[in-house]
Amino acid sequence: MESFKKTCEYAKEKGMIVIADAKRGDIGSTAKGYSNAFLGKTQIGELEESIYDVDFLTVNPYMGTDCVKPFIEDCKKYNKGIFVLVKTSNPSSGELQDLKLENGKEVYIQVSQLLEKWGEELRGDNGYSSIAAVVGATYPEQLKQIRKIAPHTYFLIPGYGAQGGKAEDIALGFDKNGLGGIINASRSLMCAYKSDYWKEKYSEEEYAKATRAEAIRMKEELLSAIK
Protein backbone atom coordinates (compact mmCIF):
# COMPACT_ATOMS: atom_id res chain seq x y z
CA MET A 1 0.00 0.00 0.00
CA GLU A 2 2.97 2.29 0.64
CA SER A 3 4.22 1.56 -2.89
CA PHE A 4 0.76 2.33 -4.24
CA LYS A 5 0.70 5.64 -2.37
CA LYS A 6 4.12 6.61 -3.73
CA THR A 7 3.05 5.70 -7.26
CA CYS A 8 -0.05 7.90 -6.97
CA GLU A 9 2.03 10.79 -5.63
CA TYR A 10 4.56 10.43 -8.44
CA ALA A 11 1.83 10.44 -11.10
CA LYS A 12 0.20 13.51 -9.55
CA GLU A 13 3.56 15.30 -9.52
CA LYS A 14 3.73 14.69 -13.28
CA GLY A 15 0.31 16.29 -13.76
CA MET A 16 -1.48 13.03 -14.52
CA ILE A 17 -5.09 12.17 -13.69
CA VAL A 18 -4.92 9.17 -11.34
CA ILE A 19 -7.55 6.42 -11.52
CA ALA A 20 -7.34 3.85 -8.72
CA ASP A 21 -8.75 0.56 -9.97
CA ALA A 22 -9.48 -0.69 -6.46
CA LYS A 23 -13.13 -1.77 -7.00
CA ARG A 24 -14.24 -0.73 -3.54
CA GLY A 25 -17.79 -1.24 -2.27
CA ASP A 26 -19.36 -2.29 1.03
CA ILE A 27 -22.09 -1.27 3.48
CA GLY A 28 -22.46 2.46 4.05
CA SER A 29 -20.12 2.93 7.00
CA THR A 30 -17.33 0.86 5.46
CA ALA A 31 -17.84 2.49 2.06
CA LYS A 32 -17.38 5.85 3.77
CA GLY A 33 -14.03 4.65 5.12
CA TYR A 34 -12.92 3.57 1.66
CA SER A 35 -14.06 6.88 0.20
CA ASN A 36 -12.25 8.85 2.89
CA ALA A 37 -9.02 7.01 2.05
CA PHE A 38 -9.15 7.35 -1.75
CA LEU A 39 -11.19 10.47 -2.49
CA GLY A 40 -11.65 12.48 0.68
CA LYS A 41 -9.89 12.96 3.99
CA THR A 42 -9.31 10.78 7.06
CA GLN A 43 -8.84 11.85 10.66
CA ILE A 44 -5.20 11.18 11.58
CA GLY A 45 -4.52 12.41 15.10
CA GLU A 46 -5.75 15.99 15.25
CA LEU A 47 -5.57 16.50 11.49
CA GLU A 48 -7.74 15.55 8.54
CA GLU A 49 -5.47 14.30 5.78
CA SER A 50 -5.70 12.72 2.34
CA ILE A 51 -4.23 9.21 2.30
CA TYR A 52 -4.10 8.42 -1.43
CA ASP A 53 -5.81 11.50 -2.95
CA VAL A 54 -6.59 9.93 -6.34
CA ASP A 55 -8.84 11.63 -8.90
CA PHE A 56 -11.08 8.67 -9.69
CA LEU A 57 -11.84 5.36 -8.00
CA THR A 58 -13.54 2.25 -9.41
CA VAL A 59 -16.53 1.21 -7.30
CA ASN A 60 -18.55 -2.01 -7.10
CA PRO A 61 -22.29 -1.11 -6.92
CA TYR A 62 -23.73 -4.57 -6.38
CA MET A 63 -24.78 -3.87 -2.79
CA GLY A 64 -27.05 -1.02 -3.88
CA THR A 65 -27.31 2.74 -3.58
CA ASP A 66 -26.26 3.04 0.06
CA CYS A 67 -22.86 1.49 -0.72
CA VAL A 68 -22.24 4.01 -3.53
CA LYS A 69 -23.67 7.12 -1.84
CA PRO A 70 -20.58 7.90 0.33
CA PHE A 71 -18.39 7.97 -2.79
CA ILE A 72 -20.84 10.26 -4.60
CA GLU A 73 -20.91 12.64 -1.63
CA ASP A 74 -17.11 12.89 -1.65
CA CYS A 75 -17.12 13.42 -5.42
CA LYS A 76 -19.28 16.49 -4.80
CA LYS A 77 -17.25 17.70 -1.84
CA TYR A 78 -13.74 17.18 -3.21
CA ASN A 79 -14.29 17.49 -6.99
CA LYS A 80 -13.46 13.82 -7.60
CA GLY A 81 -15.05 11.04 -9.66
CA ILE A 82 -15.88 7.34 -9.64
CA PHE A 83 -16.14 4.64 -12.28
CA VAL A 84 -18.92 2.23 -11.29
CA LEU A 85 -18.83 -1.38 -12.54
CA VAL A 86 -21.67 -1.83 -15.04
CA LYS A 87 -20.65 -4.48 -17.58
CA THR A 88 -17.19 -5.83 -16.89
CA SER A 89 -14.84 -7.36 -19.47
CA ASN A 90 -14.17 -10.73 -17.80
CA PRO A 91 -15.61 -13.92 -19.40
CA SER A 92 -18.01 -14.85 -16.58
CA SER A 93 -19.46 -11.37 -16.02
CA GLY A 94 -22.71 -12.50 -17.63
CA GLU A 95 -23.41 -15.02 -14.87
CA LEU A 96 -24.75 -12.12 -12.81
CA GLN A 97 -24.68 -8.96 -14.90
CA ASP A 98 -26.72 -10.41 -17.82
CA LEU A 99 -29.49 -11.94 -15.68
CA LYS A 100 -32.97 -10.68 -16.50
CA LEU A 101 -35.04 -9.02 -13.80
CA GLU A 102 -38.82 -9.22 -13.37
CA ASN A 103 -39.16 -6.04 -15.42
CA GLY A 104 -37.41 -7.74 -18.35
CA LYS A 105 -34.22 -5.69 -18.07
CA GLU A 106 -30.78 -7.18 -17.58
CA VAL A 107 -28.98 -6.34 -14.37
CA TYR A 108 -26.35 -4.26 -16.20
CA ILE A 109 -29.16 -2.18 -17.77
CA GLN A 110 -30.62 -1.49 -14.34
CA VAL A 111 -27.20 -0.42 -13.04
CA SER A 112 -26.57 1.87 -16.02
CA GLN A 113 -29.95 3.57 -15.46
CA LEU A 114 -29.17 4.05 -11.78
CA LEU A 115 -25.83 5.54 -12.79
CA GLU A 116 -27.46 8.17 -14.99
CA LYS A 117 -29.65 9.14 -12.04
CA TRP A 118 -26.78 9.20 -9.51
CA GLY A 119 -24.75 11.47 -11.77
CA GLU A 120 -27.39 14.11 -12.54
CA GLU A 121 -26.00 16.69 -10.11
CA LEU A 122 -22.41 16.23 -11.24
CA ARG A 123 -22.63 16.89 -14.97
CA GLY A 124 -20.03 19.23 -16.38
CA ASP A 125 -20.04 21.75 -19.22
CA ASN A 126 -19.75 19.01 -21.85
CA GLY A 127 -22.71 17.06 -20.51
CA TYR A 128 -20.82 14.22 -18.87
CA SER A 129 -20.97 13.38 -15.18
CA SER A 130 -18.07 12.50 -12.89
CA ILE A 131 -20.18 9.52 -11.79
CA ALA A 132 -18.98 7.29 -14.61
CA ALA A 133 -19.12 3.63 -15.71
CA VAL A 134 -16.84 0.67 -16.37
CA VAL A 135 -18.00 -1.03 -19.58
CA GLY A 136 -15.82 -3.71 -21.18
CA ALA A 137 -14.74 -3.65 -24.83
CA THR A 138 -15.12 -7.43 -24.96
CA TYR A 139 -18.92 -6.99 -25.12
CA PRO A 140 -19.43 -4.54 -28.02
CA GLU A 141 -23.22 -4.96 -28.33
CA GLN A 142 -23.71 -4.17 -24.65
CA LEU A 143 -21.26 -1.28 -24.95
CA LYS A 144 -23.36 0.20 -27.77
CA GLN A 145 -26.57 -0.41 -25.82
CA ILE A 146 -25.31 1.23 -22.64
CA ARG A 147 -24.06 4.28 -24.56
CA LYS A 148 -27.66 4.88 -25.72
CA ILE A 149 -29.14 4.30 -22.26
CA ALA A 150 -26.59 6.45 -20.43
CA PRO A 151 -25.74 9.41 -22.72
CA HIS A 152 -24.35 11.52 -19.85
CA THR A 153 -22.17 8.76 -18.43
CA TYR A 154 -18.44 8.67 -19.19
CA PHE A 155 -16.98 5.20 -19.81
CA LEU A 156 -13.79 3.55 -18.61
CA ILE A 157 -13.37 0.81 -21.24
CA PRO A 158 -11.13 -2.16 -20.32
CA GLY A 159 -10.54 -5.23 -22.46
CA TYR A 160 -8.66 -3.64 -25.37
CA GLY A 161 -5.46 -5.46 -26.32
CA ALA A 162 -4.56 -8.47 -24.20
CA GLN A 163 -8.21 -9.36 -23.44
CA GLY A 164 -9.18 -9.33 -27.11
CA GLY A 165 -11.21 -6.13 -27.48
CA LYS A 166 -10.76 -4.48 -30.88
CA ALA A 167 -10.63 -0.80 -31.83
CA GLU A 168 -13.85 -1.03 -33.85
CA ASP A 169 -15.58 -2.51 -30.79
CA ILE A 170 -14.40 0.31 -28.56
CA ALA A 171 -15.66 2.93 -31.01
CA LEU A 172 -19.22 1.93 -30.07
CA GLY A 173 -18.70 3.39 -26.60
CA PHE A 174 -18.00 6.91 -27.86
CA ASP A 175 -20.54 9.57 -28.81
CA LYS A 176 -21.00 11.15 -32.25
CA ASN A 177 -18.27 13.68 -31.44
CA GLY A 178 -15.74 10.96 -30.62
CA LEU A 179 -15.98 11.70 -26.89
CA GLY A 180 -17.16 9.90 -23.80
CA GLY A 181 -14.56 7.28 -22.98
CA ILE A 182 -11.08 6.47 -21.77
CA ILE A 183 -9.40 3.22 -22.78
CA ASN A 184 -7.74 1.05 -20.17
CA ALA A 185 -4.84 -1.19 -21.19
CA SER A 186 -2.46 -2.86 -18.76
CA ARG A 187 -0.71 -6.08 -19.80
CA SER A 188 -0.60 -5.10 -23.46
CA LEU A 189 1.41 -2.00 -22.51
CA MET A 190 3.54 -3.34 -19.67
CA CYS A 191 4.52 -6.41 -21.68
CA ALA A 192 4.64 -4.75 -25.10
CA TYR A 193 8.24 -5.86 -25.56
CA LYS A 194 6.92 -9.44 -25.84
CA SER A 195 4.30 -8.66 -28.50
CA ASP A 196 4.52 -9.51 -32.18
CA TYR A 197 4.72 -5.79 -32.95
CA TRP A 198 7.83 -5.05 -30.89
CA LYS A 199 9.66 -8.23 -29.83
CA GLU A 200 12.10 -7.97 -32.71
CA LYS A 201 12.82 -4.31 -32.06
CA TYR A 202 13.04 -4.00 -28.26
CA SER A 203 14.72 -6.17 -25.63
CA GLU A 204 13.32 -6.83 -22.17
CA GLU A 205 15.61 -4.11 -20.81
CA GLU A 206 14.00 -1.67 -23.27
CA TYR A 207 10.48 -2.40 -21.99
CA ALA A 208 9.78 1.32 -21.42
CA LYS A 209 10.53 2.18 -25.06
CA ALA A 210 8.31 -0.70 -26.19
CA THR A 211 5.53 0.52 -23.93
CA ARG A 212 5.75 4.01 -25.39
CA ALA A 213 5.75 2.68 -28.94
CA GLU A 214 2.71 0.48 -28.24
CA ALA A 215 0.83 3.36 -26.59
CA ILE A 216 1.37 5.48 -29.71
CA ARG A 217 0.32 2.60 -31.98
CA MET A 218 -2.83 2.04 -29.91
CA LYS A 219 -3.70 5.74 -29.94
CA GLU A 220 -3.47 5.91 -33.72
CA GLU A 221 -5.51 2.73 -34.15
CA LEU A 222 -8.21 3.93 -31.75
CA LEU A 223 -8.46 7.41 -33.25
CA SER A 224 -8.83 5.87 -36.71
CA ALA A 225 -11.71 3.66 -35.49
CA ILE A 226 -13.48 6.40 -33.53
CA LYS A 227 -13.36 8.89 -36.43
Tell me the C-alpha distance between 83 and 150, whole Å. Answer: 13
Percent helix / strand / coil, the chain, rounded to 5:
45, 20, 35
Identify the active-site residue in 5, 14, 23, 199: 23
Phi, psi torsion values for 85, nearest 5 degrees: -65, 120
Would residue 23 show up in a list of annotated catalytic residues for this protein? Answer: yes
CB-based contacts of 1-7 (< 8 A; 24+ apart in sequence): 4/52, 5/51, 5/52
List Cα–Cα distances, 199 to 148, 204, 213, 217, in angstroms.
40, 9, 12, 14
Tell me the C-alpha distance between 94 and 134, whole Å. Answer: 14
DSSP state of 98: T
- The residues annotated with a catalytic role in the active site are 23
